[in-house]
Structure 1
Amino acid sequence: MNATLQPARRIGIVGAGAIGGHFAARLALAGHRVSVLARGNTLHALATTGLRYTSPGEAERIVAVDAQAHADEIGPQDLVVIALKSHALPALAASLAPLVGPATVVLPVGNGLPWWYCLAPGQPLEGLRLTSVDPGGNIEAALPFAQVLGGTVMASCSSPAPGVVHHHSGGKITLGEPGGGVSERATDWARALAEAGLPATASDDIRRDLWIKLLGNACSNPLSVLTQTTTDRLLDHAGTRAVYERLMVECLAIGRHAGLALDLDVAQRIAQTRALGAVKTSMLQDLEAGRPLELAAILGAPLECAARLGLDAPLMRSVLALADLRAAPVAAATATATAAAVAAATPR
């Protein structure tokens, strides 16, 4: 798609990895004014070469984007897509303020449960602050809740090198209001994304949609880290398949007790995952690359929900403890990298 069907919008992308790059490429190719907040080798690649982007059935394209190191060099946007790993956002949230004007829509599209998940009034778990994902309340303080749209992305993308993004398969995007119902702004932005080649729809229950995605992440990701294997092998081994099933049953129970309409069949859901073949989860890829793992958002946050509801999820707790210990060798490097990212993002 070479020309947008709607007026060009100012769209900021925070997190220039696989998913962020996928959004940036499609939106820029559709004619929108795309700015990317980046640093280090990624910033250099985007600023000098552009974003190298491939998608099935398409030749590689070099996509020009406005790449900057600081949010104040970009300014207020119509839409800010936050595609950071969940553990990186608390330290960086305050530095994103220059991107958010009075009418800006903030769209986080990360894995697990986001910081805003229990903030909508009148919803089950109302008022619960998910300290797993926002330990100091920094995100809530920096990003106005009223301007947040919830989002999920079901796409397989990778970034094998700075400024290089491969879209492999999938791409379904769901947007929705944290408090439920289909709003004009959710419909508007879903249409804008869809016209840019990002198949998006507006949902009347984004909290349910996020929990459905969580079901897969909470099972596949930590178990793949503990076994260091792909999802097909996890599900073809009788022992690990049984653990997978029990994890999903626990996660479903928490969501249902939280009032979510989760009419899902565990066996069918697992069969769908097995049909995808030898998938190396993003968490396993992060482990192999020495990057921090998104355990807090994917397991810690639903366990906080369980505690509020008075439920026990012993297998989820055990898997979190084991995966957390497995990830311990990168903890020090994570702290150093986060400090460097905060310093790089701070306005000069």
Structure 2
Amino acid sequence: MNVVSNRITVVGAGAIGGHFAARLALAGHRVSMLARGATLQALAQHGLRYTSPGEGERSIDVNAADDCAALGEQDLVVIALKSHALPGLAASLAPLVGAGTVVLPVGNGLPWWYFLVPGQPLEGLRLPSVDPAGGIERAIDLARVLGGSVMASCSAPAPGVVVHRSGGAVVIGEPGGGVSARAAHWANVLAEAGLGATASRDIRRDLWLKLLGNVCANPLSVLTQASTDRIIDDARTHAVFAALMRECAELGRRAGLAVDIDIEARIAQTRALGTIKTSMLQDLEAGRRLELEAILGAPLECAARLGYDAPLMQAVHALARLRAAQAGPA
């Protein structure tokens, strides 16, 4: 266990945010959670109720608040919001950020900063799909950011309740590449808390490798309302899954990323996780807004900049958008 108790705020009290908060609090860190409504009330009354394989449910005390000013400057700010929620909240995070604060976004899809890194391919490409008015870029200094990728299956079946089902690998790294002292430090802090973290030399590549799975599993699960194992085990949908992944991998290569991978081996990794209901399918069933723009819209903006035709990604994006519109909120 880390002997130093860090001040850590998790922004977003859903499945992944709760998973991070629980592990870090159990490791002895001073954990706060930014939450609101029924979730804030549940955290205040009962603590964070957390279940992980082989451990049973535990009630964990966290400092819950709906105002960043009440929390003050932090050592680490973990942003675990749905991508579409961050633009409206980014400016309010300022009270959390001091001279030495590190900001770690761990959401799905491509983050707002992905192509803003100096010296990288497509430098300066902004992604309106995830930062429509540039508010996140203005509010969060890129110099504060460490990129993060999480491969864990978690759900939040009720306010203040988080179930960790499987997986748990976390990769963090400098947006510009290389392993810095701060990336190594925070990877160690997260690893000691049981979050399986490692420091990456190329976090942009790692985020794209995760995107390969998200681009396929999330929208296809929404269109079929099936778990990932059923999509992969059916020969016809398996073929669509593989073709979609190949197209996304080719886009990554054209964007200057080293994503030469064995597609079937990558699909096998997803299948090995068992019966997984994707976060996007969970959101569809709960009537919540889907993260289609960070997962499909942003890479399609990249494709347009490169002049690369990605017909299957475009088709799946269009179909999933219409499915989401039929289901509920925009």
Task: Report matched runs for 1:62-101 at 5 Å.
Answer: 62-101=59-98
Q: CA deviation at 1:256?
A: 0.6
Distance in 1, Cα, partners of 2:101 & 2:250: 36
Shift of 1:58: 1.1
1:22 paired with 2:19, answer yes
1:167 aligns with 2:164: yes
1:223 to 220, 224, 227: 220
The separation in 2 between residues aligned to 1:41 and 1:187, in whole angstroms, is 36
Query: Residue 238 of structure 2 corresponds to which residue in structure 1?
Result: 241
Q: Which is worse superposed, 298-307 or 263-272? A: 263-272
Instruction: Look up the match of 1:39.
Output: 36
Question: Aligned letter for 2:264?
Answer: A
Count matched residues.
330
For residue 256 of structure 2, the aligned residue among 259, 274, 279 is: 259
The Cα shift of 1:73 comes to: 0.7
- Among 120, 139, 145, the residue aligned to 2:117: 120
Shift of 1:238: 2.3
1:158-307 to 2 correspondences below 5 Å: 158-307=155-304
Q: Distance in 2 between matches of 1:153 and 1:322?
A: 27
Q: Is the 8 A contact 1:292 1:330 kept in 2?
A: no
Return the alpha-carbon distance in structure 2 between the equivalents of residues 325 and 100 of structure 1.
38
Correspondence 1:5 to 2:5: no
* 1:59 to partner: Cα distance: 3.0
Q: Comparing 85-94 with 265-274, which one deviates more in the overlay?
A: 265-274
1: distance between equivalents of 2:209 and 2:265? Answer: 13
Which has the larger displacement, 229-238 or 317-326?
Answer: 229-238
Q: Is the 8 A contact 1:6 1:192 kept in 2?
A: no
Distance of 1:151 and 1:267 partners within structure 2: 25
Structure 1 residues 199-208 or 276-285, which shifts more? 276-285
The aligned runs of 1:312-323 (5 Å cut-off) are 312-323=309-320
In the TM superposition, 1:102-141 aligns within 5 A as 102-141=99-138
Aligned residue among 313, 326, 342 for 2:323: 326
1:171: Cα distance to partner? 0.7
Instruction: Please give the alpha-carbon distance, in whole angstroms, between the structure 2 residues aligned to 1:109 and 1:81.
Output: 7
Q: 2:253 is aligned with what amino acid?
A: R
Question: Structure 1 CA distance, aligned partners of 2:220 and 2:53?
Answer: 29
Q: Could you report, residue by residue, the CA deviation over 1:208-259 in whole angstroms, capped at 9, with x for unpaired residues? A: 0000000000001101111111122212222222211111111000101111
Letter in 2 for 1:204: R
Percentage identity across aligned positions?
72
Map Cα deviations across residues 20-39 of structure 1 (whole Å, 9 max, x no partner). Answer: 01111111111111111000
The one-letter code sitting in structure 1 at the alignment partner of 2:143 is: A
Q: Deviations over 1:127-184 (max 9, x none)?
A: 0001110010011011111000000011111111111111111111000000001100
Aligned-partner Cα distance in 2 for 1:44–1:307: 44
CA distance in 1, matches of 2:208, 2:266: 13
Verify: 1:157 aligned to 2:154, yes or no.
Answer: yes
> TM-score scaled to structure 2, two decimals?
0.98
Q: In the alignment, residue 56 of structure 2 is paired with which amino acid?
A: A
Which residue identity is paired with 2:102? V
Residues 289-311 of structure 1: CA deviation (Å, up to 9, x unaligned) = 10010000000111111111111
Give the gaps of 5 or more residues in structure 1: 335-348
Q: TM-score, normalised by structure 1?
A: 0.93
Runs of 4+ in 1 over 3 A off after TM superposition: none
